[in-house]
Chains A and B, each alone.
Chain A
């Protein structure tokens, strides 16, 4: 009993070790040699620790930004500014909220439920985008925890909900994906499907699919997005600097004192440094996420494809980019326009939501492809502006609940994960949990 108690208290409660053991299981199931199993297990464990470090760095700058924003713009006693970053949400959930073990186990659970549903139903979609599954696992666990569930019931509910989203979201998008690719061989595995279908619906109503955006001559690439973190920095810097200037030196220095940050530096320079800290935090966090998933995801991808050989792989959104490259670029531009409009409307939720650049590229670009397929140029433009507003307002209304749960100055991006939260919150209200 003492041994069991020791194992539970010292191993099974340690998220880093649990995550390492999941990778170990995945590698062992693939019959990898012992050395590879050991290396993969340790690298996954290190990945979680890198993620934790990144989340910690990110939080410092988010607390700073949230505090100076509240000094500059009074959005109400419980309001403020939040940055749309599903990566940050994942980081905080796994570390500060202590849900790392549950999220990792649920990630495996979602794979299992997806495989079961693909085998027993007509929907043979296997969701193979690792990062997206991690985000879905995060929201499913967080809101199952919010329902008051703990331990096995939490993991079971989160796995079932997440597994259903992983199976049925590709199915919902498939009619439009078939139109885009001209075949039924591949599916879309990206948890922004609800936003894409909204874009497609609007485009179909207002557009003409024969007038394609692919017939227009536009720049072939967005050099601005060449370096992810430079792009994020370029977008976030004006927010930090302008907010600091409006808040004023006294308010900014008071915030720094509260947070234990140096006040010997000029307040505008401090805002600049905190913006850099935000970007570095995101960089380190994403490095941790990639390392964490590097050994877990291939293991489960291989097992999934083996157990459901007639499956349709649901792949990350860049699989559609070659079919409509102009639409990707135009989709990004018009989704960004829409998200700026959405940002200006978002204070109705009590929070100003600052859009995520990379989310706008991938989700906006893919929405552009959907919009063009259903409504040509006009459908793409109007559909993507609506999409931009949609992907800002839907997370905005979830933000009060996220703040209540304990997230600091963050909200989600990928809308399907937001609807996972709404679904579980709906269950909470329905059953009075």
Chain B
């Protein structure tokens, strides 16, 4: 009755069934992201944010977390709105937090967790018109 090590059906289903992972062409994605950079400099406002979101998504898919974070943060600075940047940063901040916790880097774990908290506060404030 209290065999907590026994997998529940739903957990087992999500863990044992192999999920096909899409093949990621790292170099192609990084090249596409690099091609967007000059366009970003020339753009403003919503257009700039759109380009930065696209750049951030490409870099995140390529596994370049730090560069992706910079792109998404710049997007929010250009145009504060819900969407790809917030979603991207939520996933990336959590990824960095997890990596720091695994590396037993307490300061970095706290830093990334605090960024996640600040992001949540920002989304809450935005919806309330603050």
Contacts and interface: CB of A to CB of B under 8 A. Distances in A.
Interface of A: 117, 120-122, 175, 178, 181, 183-186, 220-226, 298, 301-302, 305-306, 309-311, 313, 315-316, 318-319, 321-323, 325, 328-329, 361, 365
Contacts of B129: 221-226
Given A221-B129, A325-B82, A305 B109 contact: yes
B70 interface: no
A319 B104 CA distance: 25
Contact of B10 (A175, A183, A302, A309): A175
5 contacts: A122-B8, A181-B87, A226-B128, A305-B113, A313-B97
Interface in B3-30: 4-5, 7-8, 10-11, 14
Contact of A122 (B7, B82, B83, B130): B7
B101 A318 contact: no
B95 interface: yes
* Chain B interface mostly: helix
A306 B109 contact: yes
Contacts of B14: 178, 184
A28 B10 CA distance: 40
Interface stretch (B31-39, B41-49, B51-59, B115-123): B115-123
Given A122-B5, A305-B97, A306-B101, A365 B127 contact: yes
Nearest to B88: A322
Given A121-B4, A122-B11, A305-B101, A186 B127 contact: no
A318 B11 contact: no
Given A226-B128, A309-B101, A365-B127, A318 B91 contact: no
B109 A316 contact: no
Contact of A321 (B102, B106, B127): B127
A221 B128 contact: yes
A365 B124 CA distance: 11
A178 B86 CA distance: 17
Contact of B120 (A298, A319, A325): A319
Given A120-B4, A302-B106, A306-B101, A318 B121 contact: yes
B102 A309 contact: yes
A311 B102 CA distance: 10
A185 B94 contact: yes
Nearest to B12: A122
Contact of A186 (B11, B90, B124): B90
Contacts of A220: 81-82, 127
B90 A319 contact: yes
B5 to A, nearest CB: 7
Contacts of B116: 313, 315, 319
A302 B109 CA distance: 8
Contacts of B102: 309-310
A185 B90 CA distance: 10
A388 B53 CA distance: 36
A328 B4 CA distance: 35
A402 B123 CA distance: 35
| Smallest CB-CB A-B distances: 9 pairs | A322-B86, A223-B129, A121-B4, A318-B124, A325-B82, A221-B129, A318-B120, A309-B101, A225-B128
A315 B94 CA distance: 11
B29 to A, nearest CB: 18
Contacts of A117: 4
